[in-house]
Amino acid sequence: MTNPDPGGKGEAIRLIIEEYQIPTIINRASGGISINREHDVNLLYITDQIPYDWILPYIYAMIHHGGSGTTHMGLKYGCASMIIPHIIDQFVWDDIVVQAGAGPRGVSIQHFTMSKIETKVLELLSNDIYKARAEEITQRMEVENYSPTLMNYIVS
């Protein structure tokens, strides 16, 4: 996703991670965030690609842009979530996550500041209800079966 200041936002995140000793994986993907300074490699792992279905079962919470696929994967694996929306549909997913109780209201990329994101990160990690709600959603997703409905659409 586009980010007008990937280095500045990355630096804010690095400072928060190191101040609160939060083990973190950052998936830079398309360059939406960058960490340009030395960082504590015991706390922060930076990658350009990571398979979500491999890593998310081991993750407590995730902060992401709020695309439908990323939001779905986080909830599928019971991750408390906070969305940093960039474009219109991501604000909708932010609303859905908040209404479901699976995470706090995110901060839009346009209003991202260190103080705002620090408060939200600490809320995401300290409110156990977010994780519990995300895990409840995971359980409901596991029993969903839309195969008959899909087959009706395909053969119609």
The dihedral through the CA atoms of 39, 43, 44, 45 has a sign that is positive
Domains and CATH numbers, the chain: 6-155 (3.40.50.2000)
Query: Is 109:84 a contact under the CB 8 Å cutoff?
Result: yes
Higher confidence at residue 38 or residue 36?
Answer: 38
On average, the pLDDT of the chain sits at 93
Q: How confident is the model at residue 3 (pLDDT cuts 50, 70, 90)?
A: confident
Q: Which DSSP string do the residues of 67-128 spell out, in sequence order?
A: -HHHHHHHHHTT-EEEE---SHHHHHHHHHHHHHTSS-----GGG--HHHHHHHHHHHHH-H
Q: How confident is the model at residue 1 (pLDDT cuts 50, 70, 90)?
A: low
Q: What is the pLDDT of residue 156?
A: 78
Q: Coil, strand or helix: which one is 151? A: helix
CB neighbours of 124 closer than 8 A, spacing ≥ 6?
61, 63, 80, 81, 82, 103, 104, 130
Q: Taking CA 112 as the corner, what is the angle to CA 107 and CA 118, rounded to the nearest 5 degrees? A: 80
pTM score of the predicted model: 0.89
Place of tokens 């779905």: 72
Q: What average pLDDT does range 45-69 have in this prediction?
A: 95
Give the pairing of strands 80-83 and 61-64.
Answer: parallel
Percentage, residues of the chain above pLDDT 90? 80
